[in-house]
Amino acid sequence: MSVELLNFIETVLNGLMSGVMYSLVALGFVLIFKASGVFNFAQGVFALFAALTLVGYQTGQVPFAHLINELFGTNYHNWYASMPNFLAILLTMVTMIALAWIIERLVLKHLVNQDPIILFMATIGLAFALEGVGDLMWGSDVKVLDVGIPSGGSIWLEEATIGLATEGSDYYGMYVDVLNIWATVIAVILVVSLALFSQYTKTGRALRAVADDHQAALSVGISLRSIWILVWAISGFIAMVAGIMWGTESGVQFSLSLIALKALPVLILGGFTSIPGAIIGGLLIGVGEKLAEIYIGGYFETGALENWFAYVMALVFLLFRPQGLFGDKIIERV
């Protein structure tokens, strides 16, 4: 095989892997939108908050330490040296469920039957508030997140693909980050679990019923509030997974909340109401932006297509299929 072809395959492969990372963020958006019609602008901050909390538990950081020390003149920073990963993840999950409950109690409950734009605005407020709380709680230093997921180029793949190149050609083998392979496996497990949960459990069916028609679901005795707490808790869990993956890659810091911006074009492409759409959309965006950066980036003086090309793809897609690949068809009855 020619080196050019192998490089092309490598780019596509890496695009797919990056796409999975975007899909992890997009999934949280889709779940909440499906169940409550709310576009949760705070999903990126959820991921940040979950990652901050996880590192906080892992390292035994005292929450709100800075505030406590300032108010009471104390000097508390850590209350234990470290916590096993499993326990820290479990506690983070509990925290995200508690957060979902608080959001339902303090925000959503009071906004039932409001226009979607009001709910959207509320999530913008929520995003900034949660970012501030995260800062107060855990501080804004860059934190190292290590839950034992390996990262770095896959040596196995590199060695296995060196021989594929035409003899005599200068080829190093194919590069894929092991962290991205893990992200792919985890995303597949997540999607399958979500599908099984919504298909075969009573709660899952209730969730689908609410997603299809709020009023009809209410009329058969499904508690809208419990479902909302459940959905926000699940999306909090997904945010935690996304936070772990992205945080392992770059360290946990406040720019992590901006990963939500990567999910927007994915949602436009895949549709706001489809879980498979979030996955396929992520893959298309991932591949599209990597190919664009590598193969046409050189023609642009400023370069750096990787960040904005996804939006170009989304815009073009909007023109032809506004509901996205798998989104519900928009039918306006007059």
From the CB of 4, what's the least distance to another protein, in Å?
10
Q: Which is nearer to another protein, 37 or 139 (CB)?
A: 139
Q: Which is nearer to another protein, 82 or 307 (CB)?
A: 307
Q: Verify binding: residue 302, another protein, rule CB under 8 A.
A: yes
From the CB of 214, what's the least distance to another protein, in Å?
36
From the CB of 229, what's the least distance to another protein, in Å?
30
From the CB of 293, what's the least distance to another protein, in Å?
4
Give the whole-angstrom CA distance, residue 308 versus residue 124: 22
From the CB of 288, what's the least distance to another protein, in Å?
11
Element (H, E) at 179: helix 178-200
**CA distances in angstroms from 47 to 75, 161, 222, 260, 289, listed in the order given:** 29, 35, 29, 9, 23
Q: Verify binding: residue 323, another protein, rule CB under 8 A.
A: no
x-or-dash string of contact with another protein, 132-151, rule CB under 8 A = ---x---xxxx-xxx----x
Sign of CA dihedral 113, 117, 123, 125: negative
DSSP letter string, 208-261: HHHHH-HHHHHHTT--HHHHHHHHHHHHHHHHHHHHHHHHHHH-B-GGGGGGHH
Q: Using the rule CB under 8 A, which residue among 78, 82, 166, 255 binds another protein? A: 255
Quote the tokens at residue 239. 């945010």
Q: Which is nearer to another protein, 80 or 172 (CB)?
A: 172
Q: Is 251 exposed, middle or buried (0-12, 13-18, 19+ CB in 10 A)?
A: middle
Q: Verify binding: residue 160, another protein, rule CB under 8 A.
A: no
Quote the tokens at residue 316. 């073009």
Q: Using the rule CB under 8 A, which residue among 41, 182, 289, 326 binds another protein? A: 289
Q: Verify binding: residue 307, another protein, rule CB under 8 A.
A: yes
Q: Verify binding: residue 34, another protein, rule CB under 8 A.
A: no
CB-based contact 150:179 (threshold 8 Å) = yes
Determine the interface stretch with another protein among 194-202, 204-212, 269-277, 305-313 (rule: CB under 8 A). 305-313
CB-based contact 273:193 (threshold 8 Å) = no
Q: Verify binding: residue 168, another protein, rule CB under 8 A.
A: no
Residue for token digits 């699940």? 234
Quote the tokens at residue 179. 């962290």
Determine the interface stretch with another protein among 81-89, 91-99, 243-251, 315-323 (rule: CB under 8 A). 243-251
Give the whole-angstrom CA distance, residue 316 versus residue 322: 10
**CA distances in angstroms from 174 to 5, 164, 178, listed in the order given:** 11, 10, 12
x-or-dash string of contact with another protein, 74-113, rule CB under 8 A = ---x------------------------------------
CA quadruple 311, 245, 146, 129: dihedral, nearest 10: 70
Q: Verify binding: residue 181, another protein, rule CB under 8 A.
A: no
From the CB of 298, what's the least distance to another protein, in Å?
9
Neighbours of 171 (CB within 10 A): 17
From the CB of 84, what's the least distance to another protein, in Å?
19
Q: Which is nearer to another protein, 15 or 277 (CB)?
A: 15
Residues that bind another protein (CB under 8 A): 7, 10-11, 14, 18, 65-66, 69, 73, 77, 135, 139-142, 144-146, 151-153, 172, 175, 177, 246, 249-251, 253-256, 258-259, 262, 289-290, 293-294, 297, 302-304, 306-308
